Structure 1
């Protein structure tokens, strides 16, 4: 009885492994190869069709003025830090996917307050440059237009 159960278990195991292995080796690689080939082709096709690969930009965030202030920025990561002015942060941002190239990624800097010539607090001046070209600043920020105290740019 024990020998019969063991033999039956071995035969069933062999049959299952052969059945699974046989269909997997005949049918498995073909379906697996086709779907993986399609995404690779699809991922490469837009870049190949447009002739574009990854696109890199040198982005510089700058906060001008004197003294120290708190600066929040979104460059490679979101971060806030106490800095001594003038302050500058540069990074190379690489857009690799078609979605990133089309929709873009936002880079920004929110400067803290500094004292102006009249002793009043105001947002420190900020500038964003991309590949050496100024793309955003907060030169128009004032009491009537406080929403523009930050600098923001969508990098595409």
Structure 2
């Protein structure tokens, strides 16, 4: 079993603002240092991820002129213990893959979801609500996987999601 925590690609434009990668924000020339990019991105998502500090940004990858930030989420030690985590792997597409061996993985996921819900109740979108959402990005997969998607208050601006692969 695997838990995927995905941060959508974020781009840093020449004005110093950060925006989500989209057709409207197709910026190909980025003249920021790595340190600048990390700092700008940290400010942009500081309140939208559980915990973030100087070691939260694990790797930066530049692909097709866009700056992709891969995050290593700093999760409370009790959550790590409960999830029985074996390894955390940063994938090239921006996902954080958390592998664990607990047979009670559904309870583990529910525990993590509860922690996130307590962090910001307004950010959790229920599975039922997501099923009713319009647009291919918002649909729940039909292969048995569960998706919990989060945004910054706009339904068209997804920031990250949790995918439980069953």
Which protein has greater RCO, CA pairs closer than 8 Å, 6+ apart? 2
Does the TM-score normalized on the shorter chain lie above 0.5? no
**Which TM-score tier does this pair reach, normalised by the shorter chain?**
under 0.3
Kindly indicate which of the two structures has a greater share of residues assigned to strand: 1
Q: TM-score, normalised by structure 2?
A: 0.26
TM-score by length of 1: 0.28
The structure with more helix, counted as a fraction of residues: 1
